[in-house]
Chain A
Amino acid sequence: MSRGFTLLEVLVAIFILTIGIVGVFGLINQAVSLTSATHNQLVASYLAQEGVEIVRNIRDSNFLKIRAGIVADWKDGIDVPAGLCGLGCKADYNSASLDPGSPLAFILRNGVLHSYDSGVETPFTRKILITPDGTNKIFIEVEVAWQERGQSHRVIASSELYNWLSP
């Protein structure tokens, strides 16, 4: 009397086990790669926020210049000359105006300081898009993009700035 398994039974059992194991491993793998994506997403979102703050800082400095009687448009270095960043600009943490040259350059890191000046290449690019809406409002869109495991990721921060000083 044969009380073993038939070949078919064994094959079916192995098949089911394999599917289960592959599923579990796929899940683990995805969790690990998502954690890694979270890492870059966190860094990217703060770099995007930095982009918005840089534009705001230039606007506020223009307001100070207007108050001091130094002739300056509130959009100086942001959207003056007109359409300056219509196709995207780059800007460093200490930039006094936005720079329309090569907005797809990689941000560099020197020690801990991120800029376009010097250092090792980070995976991030940052493009600052300015869209004017009338004369007293601009729309800012900062896109930080990076590649990871052959996939493109991006974080976009957007904000609006108004000319509330001298509309």
Chain B
Amino acid sequence: MKKLRKGFTLIELLVAVTLFSVIGGAVISLLVSGISTQRDSLGKQQLFDQTSSMGEYMSRALRQAKKELGLGCLSPSRVNYQITQGGKGIKFIDKNNICREFFLDDSGSYGILKEDMNVLDPPVSIVVLTSNDLDVEAIGFALRDANQTDNIQPGVTFSWHIKARGVKPEIFFQTTISQRRFDVQE
């Protein structure tokens, strides 16, 4: 009688299954960690791109701000900047004499940085500066300006804490700008 052994032994099967699961497990865990790293990287990229663009945009607008000389934007008169919304916003007159405001809207489930392109114009002209991939946790403004008789050149410090939504990356950012127009008495 011919004895044909065309199957596997139990040992061979066990070894094969073990090898397969070890290698498979390693590959899958690599894949999972790769995907989460990828998500983190994309989140970081969003954070960096938007932080950098907002930093530049706000710096430029605030540097060229004008003094309140009767436009009715800021109170009191003859100042360059005014902190609004309980410390979460800043109002100023831009180089084209338009009253503008940067502020944090944290009324929803995540914070959004917004800009009112024309505070004094009745139709609401609010634009969104940060995408809904980001959560602006906190924003802070500090002014270096009391009045035009203190012989101190006005400046603005702005800082924020922004998280990428759903992933780990976050950023703490700060910069300061000094007003380019001289604060001479007007």
Contact = CB atoms under 8 A, between A and B. Distances in A.
Interface residues of B, number: 37
Interface in A78-125: 93-94, 96, 109, 111-114, 122
Interface residues of A, number: 33
B176 interface: yes
B12 to A, nearest CB: 15
B178 interface: yes
The interface residues of chain A, by DSSP majority, are classed as helix
Interface of B: 34, 37, 41, 44-45, 47-48, 51-52, 55, 59, 138-140, 142, 144, 151-153, 155, 157, 159-161, 169, 171-179, 182-184
B174 A114 contact: yes
B41 A32 contact: yes
A32 to B, nearest CB: 6
Nearest to A25: B30
Contacts of B142: 93-94, 113
A30 interface: no
A50 interface: yes
Interface of A: 28, 31-32, 35, 38-39, 42-43, 46-47, 49-50, 53-54, 56-57, 60-61, 63-65, 67-68, 70, 93-94, 96, 109, 111-114, 122
B44 A35 contact: yes
Contact of A64 (B151, B159, B171): B151
23 contacts: A31-B41, A32-B41, A35-B41, A38-B48, A39-B44, A39-B169, A47-B174, A50-B174, A50-B176, A53-B155, A54-B176, A64-B151, A64-B183, A64-B184, A67-B184, A93-B155, A96-B152, A111-B140, A112-B140, A112-B174, A113-B140, A113-B142, A113-B159
Contacts of B179: 60
A43 B47 CA distance: 11
A111 B178 CA distance: 22
Contact of A53 (B34, B51, B178, B183): B178
- Pick the most buried of B41, B155, B171: most chain A CB atoms within 10 A of its CB: B155
A43 B177 CA distance: 15
